[in-house]
A = this chain, B = another copy of it.
Amino acid sequence: MRKVAIIGVGMTKFGEHWERGYRDLVIEAGVKAIEDAGLQGNEISAGYVGSMASGSLIGQEHVGALIADQMGLNPIPVTRVEAACASGGVALRQGYLAVASGAHDIVVVGGVEKMNDLDTNTVSEILGGAGDEEWELFLGATFPGLYALMAKRHMHEYGTTEEMMAAVAVKNHEHGSRNPYAQFQNKITIDMVMKSKMVADPLKVFDCSPITDGAAVAILATLDVAKKYSSQPIEIAASAQASDTIALHSREKLSEVKATKIAAQKAYEMAGVKPKDIDVAEVHDCFTIGEILAIEDLGFFKKGEGGKASLEGKTYLNGEIPINTSGGLKAAGHPVGATGIKQAVELTWQLRGKAEGRQVDDAEIALAHNVGGSGATAVVHIFKKV
Given A59-B129, A61-B82, does the pair A75, B259 have CB atoms closer than 8 Å? Answer: yes
Contact string, A67-100, partner B, CB cutoff 8 A, digits 1/0? 0110001111111111110000010011001101
Given A55-B53, A100-B101, A259-B75, does the pair A373, B84 have CB atoms closer than 8 Å? Answer: no
Whether, in the assembled complex, A200 has its beta carbon less than 8 Å from a beta carbon of chain B, the answer is: no
- Chain B residues with Cβ below 8 Å from A267 are none
Query: Which A34-90 residues sit within 8 Å CB-CB of chain B?
Result: 52-56, 58-66, 68-69, 73-84, 90
Whether, in the assembled complex, A219 has its beta carbon less than 8 Å from a beta carbon of chain B, the answer is: no
- Chain B residues with Cβ below 8 Å from A61 are 52-53, 56, 82, 84, 126, 129-130
Given A21-B134, A75-B262, does the pair A83, B60 have CB atoms closer than 8 Å? Answer: no
> When chains A and B are docked, how far (Å) is the Cα of A265 from the Cα of B287?
49
Assembly stoichiometry (copies): 2
Tell me if A244 and B74 are in contact (CB < 8 A). yes
Contact string, A231-265, partner B, CB cutoff 8 A, digits 1/0? 00000000001111111001000000011001000
- Chain B residues with Cβ below 8 Å from A131 are 62
> When chains A and B are docked, how far (Å) is the Cα of A130 from the Cα of B65?
9
Tell me if A65 and B100 are in contact (CB < 8 A). no
- Chain B residues with Cβ below 8 Å from A151 are none
Tell me if B62 and A130 are in contact (CB < 8 A). yes
Given A69-B246, A75-B243, A245-B74, does the pair A62, B103 have CB atoms closer than 8 Å? Answer: no
- Chain B residues with Cβ below 8 Å from A77 are 90, 93, 241-243, 377
Per a CB cutoff under 8 Å, which of B59, B78, B243 touches A65?
B243
- Chain B residues with Cβ below 8 Å from A130 are 61-62
Tell me if A129 and B60 are in contact (CB < 8 A). yes
Contact string, A306-319, partner B, CB cutoff 8 A, digits 1/0? 00000000000000
- Chain B residues with Cβ below 8 Å from A246 are 62, 65-66, 69
> When chains A and B are docked, how far (Å) is the Cα of A243 from the Cα of B48?
13
- Measured CB to CB, the closest approach of chain B to A262, in angstroms, equals 5
Interface size class of A (residues with CB under 8 A): 35 or more
Whether, in the assembled complex, A372 has its beta carbon less than 8 Å from a beta carbon of chain B, the answer is: yes
> When chains A and B are docked, how far (Å) is the Cα of A241 from the Cα of B351?
35
Whether, in the assembled complex, A349 has its beta carbon less than 8 Å from a beta carbon of chain B, the answer is: no
Whether, in the assembled complex, A285 has its beta carbon less than 8 Å from a beta carbon of chain B, the answer is: no
- Chain B residues with Cβ below 8 Å from A59 are 125, 128-129, 133, 137-138
Whether, in the assembled complex, A1 has its beta carbon less than 8 Å from a beta carbon of chain B, the answer is: yes
Whether, in the assembled complex, A102 has its beta carbon less than 8 Å from a beta carbon of chain B, the answer is: yes
Tell me if A62 and B129 are in contact (CB < 8 A). yes
Whether, in the assembled complex, A132 has its beta carbon less than 8 Å from a beta carbon of chain B, the answer is: yes
The residue in A61, A81, A132, A250 that gathers the most chain B C-beta atoms within 10 A of its C-beta is A61
Whether, in the assembled complex, A169 has its beta carbon less than 8 Å from a beta carbon of chain B, the answer is: no
Closest 4 pairs (CB-CB, A-B): A101-B101, A65-B376, A77-B241, A62-B84
Known: A1-B101, A82-B82. 16 other contacts (CB 8 A): A52-B61, A53-B61, A55-B126, A59-B137, A62-B83, A65-B84, A65-B372, A65-B373, A65-B376, A68-B243, A69-B243, A69-B244, A73-B243, A76-B243, A80-B83, A97-B103
Residues of A within 8 A of B (CB): 1, 21, 23, 52-56, 58-66, 68-69, 73-84, 90, 93-94, 97-98, 100-103, 125-126, 128-134, 137-138, 241-247, 250, 258-259, 262, 372-373, 376-377
